[in-house]
Amino acid sequence: MPKTSRYSLQPAGELPGTLQRSPKEAQEMFIKALASAVQAYGQGDQAVRAAYTELKQTFEKCGDHWILK
């Protein structure tokens, strides 16, 4: 059985469900942060974790979506 990661993105670069249900600003911030992290760390879990860390500085998770702090 192949290993999976809790931080991996869905196929075709789709946003995770919690971000799909979030405001446009949260989605855009995550996409920008992920692009920057991929340049720094390459594709993979580390880049996704870095993008979430940046997102968490401005947004907080509330149930199944992200809201502005």
pLDDT at position 8: 53
CA distance 41 to 1: 26
Q: What's the predicted TM-score (pTM) here?
A: 0.81
Domain ranges, ordered by start, for the chain: 19-68
- Given 3-state DSSP classes, what are the helix, strand and coil percentages for the chain, each rounded to the nearest 5? 55, 10, 30
In this prediction, residue 14 has a pLDDT band, given cuts at 50, 70 and 90, of confident
- pLDDT tens track for 20-61: 999 999 999 999 999 999 999 999 899 999 999 999 999 999
